Structure 1
Amino acid sequence: MSEENNIRVMRILQPTYDVEPTLDRRFTKNKMEADCTPIVKEYLTGKSWSDEKEVNTEMSETITNLVMEKVREANLDRYKIIVHTNIGENRNQTVRVASHCLWESTLDSAAEINFISEQLWCTVVIIGLYVH
């Protein structure tokens, strides 16, 4: 192997000096809830609870992927997005889903979507964390 074949290409990135996203590139709770609620409702309307773990796992993964695709359309380049989906059988029980996170309150946020039918309930939490 000759020296000519071992050429290394270096990419030099210039600093942007951006410490905050512009207003159109911010993760906002209201926008995320408005954009993603119809996706969850459309997917789950008419679905019923199954005692088979695989069916419920597939439903949860599908909802998570659909929501993640919609969030990616917003082009939030510098945000780490986390989508957490919970699905359960509706037997008129009370369920509370809580999460705890430390973040920069001016840049980071979370959105929550709830769906309840006669057969099942679903809670989707979308967390957007700004990466400096």
Structure 2
Amino acid sequence: MDETTLQPFQGPPKQVVYENTFITEPEGYGEHMVFKRHKVQEVLKQVLKERMEGQQYDPVKGAQHAKQLADDVREKVKALGYERHKLVVQVTLGQKKGQAMRIVSRCLWDTHSDASASEYYENETMYCVCQVYGLYIE
């Protein structure tokens, strides 16, 4: 071996230390950084009406139907231009038999850039509650 190809031992590799940027909010609350509840609400109404009208409750296909509905809602809301938002879509689908139901949620977020929207649909045999949470991410 040639001595010129050998490197002297320099110790363990240096550890990279990341400093806190202290950025706690989006820079300038522009149109693209604010989750517009009314726009998302319109999408929810449209999708629920298209997909749920004329449907009957089926316990076997219910879970798959709810998953497909959540995927459709997520894609339509993304098309509104929320690239910087983490979208959480929750769909509750159930059989309607005269029972009462209450769905509640609590979130800790920035009220300037984050929000949620929900919509309810029901027919003779089933109900569906769809909720969308939009959380701004840096």
Check whether TM > 0.5.
yes
Partner of 1:13: none
Q: Which moved more, 1:19-28 or 1:76-85?
A: 19-28
Partner of 2:37: 29
1:50 is aligned to 2:58: yes
Bigger helix share: 1
TM-score by length of 1: 0.80
Change (3 A) 1:56 1:103: same
Give the Cα separation in 2 of the matches to 1:51 and 1:31. 32
Partner of 1:11: none
TM-score by length of 2: 0.77
Give the Cα separation in 2 of the matches to 1:77 and 1:21. 15
Q: Which runs of 5+ in 1 are unaligned?
A: 1-17
SS at match of 2:93: strand
**Matched-pair identity in %:** 23
Q: Deviations over 1:42-82 (max 9, x none)?
A: 10111111132xx0111101110110110110111211110
Partner of 1:5: none
SS at match of 1:47: coil
Q: Which runs of 5+ in 2 are unaligned?
A: 1-25
SS at match of 2:64: helix
Whether the 8 Å CA contact 1:25–1:75 is kept in 2: the answer is: no
Whether the 8 Å CA contact 1:20–1:107 is kept in 2: the answer is: no
Correspondent of 1:128 among 107, 122, 134: 134
Partner of 1:87: 93
Q: Deviations over 1:15-37 (max 9, x none)?
A: xxx52442255211111001221
Give the Cα separation in 2 of the matches to 1:88 and 1:66. 19
> Number of residues paired by the alignment?
114
> Which one has a bigger Cα radius of gyration?
2
Give the Cα separation in 1 of the matches to 2:92 and 2:28. 31
